Structure 1
């Protein structure tokens, strides 16, 4: 068999599709033949040349109509595509405008727009080239950050375990005061690894002009009567005082040593505080950040009241 004509193309299903130009030509020829036949039947006496002219004219009109229909179809398709592209451009510009508006609001609120851009760019790069576990970790971190910032719109945030990162970061952000209660001496917290970065952050904070730190240790009568414990405790207080931290302690009676009194509170700049709520085993179960003005004021007054009646180590 010879090679198939170039005007025939294979369809995806394996059939053949006739090229549009050939199809229009075939339709025009068929219409011309039919028109000639009809003209011949209507008027047998008509000259053959006239019949051919009539059939050619009808065929020409048929070809023109086909092109007009095709033009109309293409025009409608172009209009549809144009509307789609216009809608996509509108959505794209709307997104850009929304993003620009958010960045402008961040700037007006005193937040860092460069850090926000860096976060978005870095998240995009991780999403494009990182392995799945890295992508999952990045998503989890972004979700955690978004959850915390969203909670802060209500002036509170919670963490379902001990959050040393918040403690250190807030210490780094303090500009005037850090007031803290500590009821964890019996567990030798200050000899553990998490205590060292916290103390380092406090030392760095005190280098800034005007930042002062007060720490109020709370112990119970049994600890006060333990000479071995008190020797270690006085040494601890002396070490922190040598760093520039103002230190006092008080002994809570069994009646006053309630669950609320055992909570460690750290107040930053009299504007917000971290509260570490212990479980029954005195482990830190939950960290709560609170910036509600009324509750912060209550914690500041409570701390100042306890500080006034507390004792400096070595005075007893």
Structure 2
């Protein structure tokens, strides 16, 4: 391709590129020579100077015509490039305006929903900084966290989402968001859990919620009366000292119509959302589900109230 005009350059039979200027010069010389020969043949009586002048004029005209043709080709090439560039820029600007419009619309929705747009800005800016200068493992982790967050938000538009295993972050976060009441069912009494660091953080979060005026109740479910030992009662008393209301339900002593109900671990927040383990921890590999759908939520609220009414006080001598 010609570096200036974008027009294919002539090549020789051997594939060697002939410079455009040299080619124009050769064409001009050839045309002038032919003109000189023709004028000499037509009128041999004219002097040599006149024949040479005519050949020069014709050769010059041929050179001008070549440059005019080349200029027109270059102009067409530039016009075509400008049209393509204009179209590309128009499409790019349109796409950017659409993206800006989408972002503006999203932030407008956030404002109308009462959400803090500043947190969204911080999230986007921080993610950009990490991707631009962080180590590869940090970049990969940041992308995975963004994808996880996006997936959770998408699922919550359907009022339910799941997590493989237990998700203590959800539990603590929801406890911090509760405004009215927290009702919990502990179906598998893992006594050792309540002296662990995660349990302490969980109970601290519930104590903070109680300080905000939230009512916290917990039902411990055991299979038989023999399982109600001093260790369990001490756990209940320690939670009662935190102003967490507790009761113990012996499953074998329940009326028949209550024995067959679900006993999965679950926590109800403000009667509007259920944090539930879909399998007992003793069975291993539970799945955490957040569910705000009315049918399931109504079932869990009804079940908790039934167990609460059927339970015995968990902290004797404390209240």
Q: Tell me the TM-score normalised to structure 2 length.
A: 0.82
Describe the SS at the equivalent of 1:225: helix
1:82 matched to 2:81? The reply is no
Q: 2:110 aligns with which of 78, 95, 106?
A: 106
1:218 matched to 2:221? The reply is yes
Give the distance between the partners of 2:35 and 2:204, measured in 1 at CA. Answer: 101
* CA distance 1:185–1:56, shift in 2 (3 Å): closer
Give the distance between the partners of 1:153 and 1:122, measured in 2 at CA. Answer: 25
Question: Is the contact between residue 278 and residue 286 of structure 2 (CA under 8 Å) also seen in structure 1?
Answer: yes
Residue aligning to 2:296: 295
Provide, for residues 158-185 of structure 1, a one-character-per-residue CA deviation record: whole Å limited to 9, x for no partner.
1110111111110001111100111232
| Within-5 A mapping of 1:135-150 | 135-150=139-154
Q: Which is further off, 71-80 or 270-279?
A: 71-80
Q: Which is further off, 102-111 or 174-183?
A: 102-111
Residue aligning to 2:273: 272
Question: Is the contact between residue 35 and residue 58 of structure 1 (CA under 8 Å) also seen in structure 2?
Answer: no
Question: How many residues are aligned here?
Answer: 295
Give the distance between the partners of 1:306 and 1:59, measured in 2 at CA. Answer: 104
Q: 1:57 aligns with which of 57, 61, 76?
A: 61
| Within-5 A mapping of 1:1-316 | 24-41=24-41, 44=44, 47-48=50-51, 49-208=53-212, 210-221=213-224, 224-225=225-226, 230-253=229-252, 260-261=262-263, 263-279=264-280, 281-283=282-284, 285-313=286-314, 314=316
Describe the SS at the equivalent of 1:278: coil
Q: Note the residue ranges of structure 2 that are not aligned, 5 or more in a row.
A: 1-14
Question: Is the contact between residue 214 and residue 247 of structure 1 (CA under 8 Å) also seen in structure 2?
Answer: yes
Give the distance between the partners of 1:54 and 1:295, measured in 2 at CA. Answer: 97
Give the distance between the partners of 2:42 and 2:116, measured in 1 at CA. Answer: 89
Deviation at 1:259, TM superposition (A): 8.6
Deviation at 1:81, TM superposition (A): 2.2
* CA distance 1:18–1:114, shift in 2 (3 Å): farther
* CA distance 1:43–1:182, shift in 2 (3 Å): farther
Give the distance between the partners of 1:173 and 1:302, measured in 2 at CA. Answer: 23
Q: Note the residue ranges of structure 1 that are not aligned, 5 or more in a row.
A: 1-14
**CA root-mean-square deviation:** 2.7
